[in-house]
């Protein structure tokens, strides 16, 4: 018998192990059968006495495992109730069977039977409360995403406005500089004309005096 110890944190999704001669000895680690996991025997930590079995699996909106439901027997003070167990509160051993696609599982709680009795009881009240919390969390996530998008859009618009303002100022400064240069050039040209005229007048006057 070959046993592979894995943690339930790896049970993000389920898939059937491929049927092949090489896989008959033991299912590959990382593949788990939801069908075979349901009804798998559950044991308390440090005990070889079965206290119940996996009765159901609860998923969230992302189809990620939220909880395992452990149905207990009417002993160990558990009263035959079903309890909600989080994935990180149990571990699973894969035991090789005669068929690769029908692995056997042994589930061990990271708790004693007395500690399990303090876990949430799986009933209508728990379901409604958990569903309400999940809906509220989804709504908060949606609102946060919408608010983040609004802030991003406003920030982008501010950046565009600032960039546009800088471009306008630069254009105005360039236009003003060009006008000043043109005025200076015109002044210089006018001065040159005046100087030339003065020189011509003085030359004519000299010629007349002679």
Query: Any bridge partners for residue 67, and if so which?
Result: 58
What is the arithmetic mean of pLDDT over 81-109?
A: 91
The verdict on 92 and 167 lying in the same domain is no
Q: Is the pLDDT of residue 44 over 50?
A: yes
pLDDT at 111: 92
pLDDT at 161: 76
pLDDT over 90, % of the chain: 31
The verdict on 68 and 80 lying in the same domain is yes
Q: Is the pLDDT of residue 204 over 60?
A: no
145-187 pLDDT, tens per residue?
Answer: 766 667 777 777 777 878 787 777 776 666 666 555 665 565 5
Asked if the structure places residue 115 within a domain, the reply is: yes
Q: Is the pLDDT of residue 22 over 50?
A: no
The verdict on 117 and 127 lying in the same domain is no
Global pTM exceeds 0.95? no
The verdict on 49 and 108 lying in the same domain is yes
The verdict on 12 and 114 lying in the same domain is yes
The verdict on 47 and 149 lying in the same domain is no
- Asked which of 99, 121, 143 is the last residue of a domain, the reply is 121
- Asked which of 121, 139, 158 is the last residue of a domain, the reply is 121
Asked if the structure places residue 210 within a domain, the reply is: no
> For residues 57 and 13, is the Cβ–Cβ distance under 8 A?
no
Q: Domain containing 36 — which CATH number? A: 2.30.30.240
The verdict on 15 and 84 lying in the same domain is yes
The verdict on 40 and 116 lying in the same domain is yes
pLDDT over 70, % of the chain: 63
How many Å apart are CA 155 and CA 49, to the nearest integer?
A: 62
What is the arithmetic mean of pLDDT over 18-30?
A: 41
Residue 113's pLDDT band (cuts 50, 70, 90): confident
- Asked which of 101, 121, 141 is the last residue of a domain, the reply is 121
3-class secondary structure for 57-89?
EEECCCCCEEEEEEEECCCCCCCCCEEEECHHH
The verdict on 161 and 185 lying in the same domain is yes
The number of folded domains in the chain is 2
51-89 pLDDT, tens per residue?
Answer: 999 999 999 888 999 999 999 977 777 878 999 999 999
The verdict on 128 and 186 lying in the same domain is yes
The verdict on 101 and 153 lying in the same domain is no
Q: Which domain, by its residues, includes 193?
A: 123-202
The verdict on 83 and 132 lying in the same domain is no
């Amino acid at each position: 018998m070959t046993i592979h110890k894995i943690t339930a944190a790896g049970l993000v999704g389920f898939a059937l192990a491929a049927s092949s001669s090489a896989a008959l000895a033991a299912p590959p680690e990382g593949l788990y059968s939801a069908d075979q996991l349901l009804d798998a025997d559950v044991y308390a930590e440090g005990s070889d006495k079965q206290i119940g079995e996996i009765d159901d699996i609860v998923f969230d909106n992302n189809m990620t495992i939220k909880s395992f439901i452990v149905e207990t027997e009417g002993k160990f003070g558990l009263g035959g109730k079903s309890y909600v167990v989080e994935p990180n509160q149990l571990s699973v051993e894969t035991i090789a069977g005669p068929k690769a696609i029908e692995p056997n599982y042994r589930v061990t709680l990271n708790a004693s039977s007395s500690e399990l009795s303090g876990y949430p009881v799986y009933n209508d009240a728990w379901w409604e409360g958990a569903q309400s919390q999940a809906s509220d969390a989804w709504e908060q996530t949606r609102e946060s995403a919408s608010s983040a998008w609004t802030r991003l859009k406003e920030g982008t618009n501010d950046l565009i406005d600032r960039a546009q303002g800088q471009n306008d100022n630069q254009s105005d400064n360039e236009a003003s500089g060009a006008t000043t240069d043109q005025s200076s050039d015109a002044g210089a040209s006018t001065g040159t004309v005046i100087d030339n005229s003065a020189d011509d007048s003085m030359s004519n006057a000299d010629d007349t005096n002679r």
